[in-house]
């Protein structure tokens, strides 16, 4: 028997045993005399089914999962190399409803290709966007990104094309392109999945940006908590250089673009763009005052494009298929798609790329299948540790930047963390303040001191000490942090705190009226 088998090397798949499964498959195949070509792909994003093993058949790729090493012998006996029936048989991968109902643009290749193969990338449409860009002027590339409506996917949602235009028009010989891969928000992993599952798309997006603004050097600032992504991405940089897609004279265009990966060192604040620049320069990750904007004075004082992994990774398809095709997805001013990440207490956790406009309820139930524990979902945090906690009554809000802002929330980086009815929301509010205290860079007082005072006030409320007065104090403190902090860490920590208090006053031992008054 001769077959191609896919076993992911994505960190989440490895975390639940994919390496052991891959080894068992190789061992068993060798013992049986089967010839198996093993491809270590990225994850399809159906994390609850990991390790998800796929087999190439004439009908298409057939999936089995979740596979343990103990299942492997039985899979061979059942004839899984030809896609035969088995208790873990899931049918054609592309027909699994969770995947079939998605709109994968940015993630179209993730889990499909061999992430370390330049030729596989090219065979699946890679480098077409860059080739098109190389035939255009910088202004034309910028215009295409503006027309696509692409907004920064890291959380702030600033129009990417406008930022690029600022850098293009900024005077100076030396400019930089920097990718923020410091994906520190709990409940998010789409950056990691791209870097492990389709790293060349990030390289291509950054190269297009560099060509557009006239930068010759770029950095990817990757958090140290992602060693698997680091290995894959370093290999991808070397492979792209070897293929002439990075370095001097990329694709024989006359343009050069040198890309380097830099590892962070465990500071959440370095996901804030100016703290990240400080860190890249070799300093403490202290937030900078703005202005000047990084687009004018960024890395080493030079004009710098800073975008998130998903933003850059969405650019190649825009330059390949056209701005209009991308902008046709989405609603209102939120154009295109967002790779949502379903996490926490959810039955079917994973990655769901959909056009903006899907509701939270659809994500949680149609995709997520409800909570993992089977208990009612009581609260959902969208947008990471600085995002609001939303109660069931807000689950019908469409995921759209403006619609979420209108209810005091934020879509952010698209992370969705579900909690069942055993959650203590006063404890979660306390944690939000505690996290801010641990991760504050210390530059501004509302964040540095306010977060510690916040923990103390919430402790007093939870202990029943002058509840009403302390709730008022907490609200007042939130106002101070909101308006007086230098960056989003101190400025948005009040979002989870206030939303927890407003929507779940019982957990603080106060009435809804008391929670709102102050």
Partner 1 sequence: MSGTSSSGAGGAVDRDHGAIAESIEAHRGCEGPLLPVLHAIQDRLGYIPREAVAAVAHALNLSRADVHGVISFYHDFRMEPGGRHVIRLCQAEACQSVGSEALARHVRARLGVDFHQTRPDGAFTLEPVYCLGGCACSPTMMLDGRLYGRVTPERFDRLVAALERAD
Q: Which residues bind partner 1 (CB under 8 A)?
A: 11-12, 14-16, 47-48, 50, 183-189, 192, 217, 224-228, 260, 262-268, 279-285, 300, 341-346, 349-351, 372-373, 381, 385, 415, 417-420, 423, 428, 431, 435, 438-439
Please report, for residues 132, 176, 206, the alpha-carbon distance to residue 258 in angstroms, rounded to integers and kept in the order given: 20, 10, 10
Q: Report the DSSP pairing between strands 334-335 and 304-308.
A: unpaired
Cβ 139 to partner 1 shortest distance, Å = 28
How many CA atoms lie within 13 Å of 498's alpha carbon, on the beta-carbon side? Answer: 23
Judged on CB neighbours under 10 Å (0-12, 13-18, 19+), 216 is middle
Compare residues 83 and 218 and give the one whose CB is closer to partner 1.
218
Compare residues 49 and 515 and give the one whose CB is closer to partner 1.
49
Compare residues 297 and 420 and give the one whose CB is closer to partner 1.
420
Compare residues 428 and 497 and give the one whose CB is closer to partner 1.
428
Judged on CB neighbours under 10 Å (0-12, 13-18, 19+), 4 is middle
Q: Which residues make Cβ contacts (< 8 Å) with residue 9, sequence separation at least 6?
A: 18, 19, 40, 41, 42, 115, 196, 228, 232
Compare residues 203 and 309 and give the one whose CB is closer to partner 1.
309
Kind and range of the H or E run holding 31: helix 18-32
Rounded-to-integer distance, Cα 37 and Cα 14, Å: 19
Compare residues 415 and 446 and give the one whose CB is closer to partner 1.
415
Q: Residue 62: helix, strand or coil by DSSP?
A: strand
Rounded-to-integer distance, Cα 349 and Cα 428, Å: 21
Rounded-to-integer distance, Cα 169 and Cα 512, Å: 52
> Which residues are bridge partners to 344 per DSSP?
418
Compare residues 368 and 491 and give the one whose CB is closer to partner 1.
368
Rounded-to-integer distance, Cα 324 and Cα 478, Å: 42
Cβ 517 to partner 1 shortest distance, Å = 28
Compare residues 76 and 419 and give the one whose CB is closer to partner 1.
419
């Amino acid at each position: 028997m001769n077959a191609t088998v896919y076993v992911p090397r994505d960190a989440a798949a490895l975390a639940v045993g994919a390496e052991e499964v891959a080894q068992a498959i190789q061992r068993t195949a060798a013992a049986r005399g089967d010839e198996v070509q093993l491809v270590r792909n990225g994850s399809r994003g159906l994390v609850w089914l990991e390790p998800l093993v796929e087999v190439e058949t004439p009908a298409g790729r057939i999936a089995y999962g979740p596979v343990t090493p103990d299942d492997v012998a039985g899979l061979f006996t059942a004839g899984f190399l030809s896609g035969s029936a088995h208790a873990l048989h899931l049918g054609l991968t592309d027909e699994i409803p969770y995947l079939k109902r998605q709109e994968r643009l940015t993630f179209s290749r993730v889990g499909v290709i061999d992430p370390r193969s330049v030729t596989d990338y090219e065979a699946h449409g890679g480098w077409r966007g860059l080739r098109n860009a190389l035939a255009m002027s910088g202004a034309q590339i910028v215009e295409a990104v503006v027309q696509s409506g692409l907004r920064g996917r890291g959380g702030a949602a600033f129009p990417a094309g406008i930022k690029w235009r600022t850098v293009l028009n900024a005077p100076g010989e030396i400019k930089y392109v920097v990718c923020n891969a410091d994906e520190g928000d709990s409940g998010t992993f789409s950056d990691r999945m791209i870097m492990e599952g389709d790293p060349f798309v990030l390289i291509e997006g950054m190269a297009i940006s560099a060509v557009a603004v006239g930068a010759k050097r770029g950095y990817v600032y990757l958090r140290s908590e992602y060693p698997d992504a680091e290995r894959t991405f370093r290999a991808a940089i070397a492979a792209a250089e070897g293929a002439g897609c990075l370095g001097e004279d990329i694709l024989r265009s006359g343009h050069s673009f040198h890309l380097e990966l830099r590892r962070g060192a465990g500071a959440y604040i370095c996901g804030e763009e100016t703290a990240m620049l400080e860190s890249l320069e070799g300093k403490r990750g202290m937030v900078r005052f703005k202005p000047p904007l990084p687009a004018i004075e960024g890395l080493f004082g030079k004009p710098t494009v800073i975008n998130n992994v998903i933003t850059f990774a969405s650019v190649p398809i825009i330059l390949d298929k056209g701005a209009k095709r991308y902008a046709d997805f989405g609603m209102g001013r939120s154009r295109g798609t967002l790779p949502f990440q379903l996490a926490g207490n959810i039955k079917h956790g994973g990655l769901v790329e959909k056009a903006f406009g899907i509701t939270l309820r659809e994500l949680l139930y149609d995709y997520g299948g409800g909570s993992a524990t089977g208990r009612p979902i009581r609260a959902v945090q969208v947008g990471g540790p600085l995002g609001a906690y939303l109660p069931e009554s807000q689950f019908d809000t469409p995921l759209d930047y403006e619609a979420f802002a209108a209810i005091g929330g934020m879509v952010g980086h698209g992370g969705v963390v579900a909690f069942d009815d055993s959650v203590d929301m006063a404890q979660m509010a306390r944690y939000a303040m505690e996290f801010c205290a641990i991760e504050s860079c210390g530059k501004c007082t509302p964040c540095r001191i306010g977060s510690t005072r916040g923990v103390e006030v919430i402790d007093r409320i939870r202990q029943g000490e002058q509840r009403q007065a302390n709730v008022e104090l907490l609200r007042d403190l939130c106002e101070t942090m909101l308006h007086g902090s230098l960056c989003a860490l101190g400025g948005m920590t009040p979002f989870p705190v206030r939303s927890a208090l407003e929507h779940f006053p019982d957990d603080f031992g106060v009435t809804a009226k008391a929670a709102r008054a102050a």
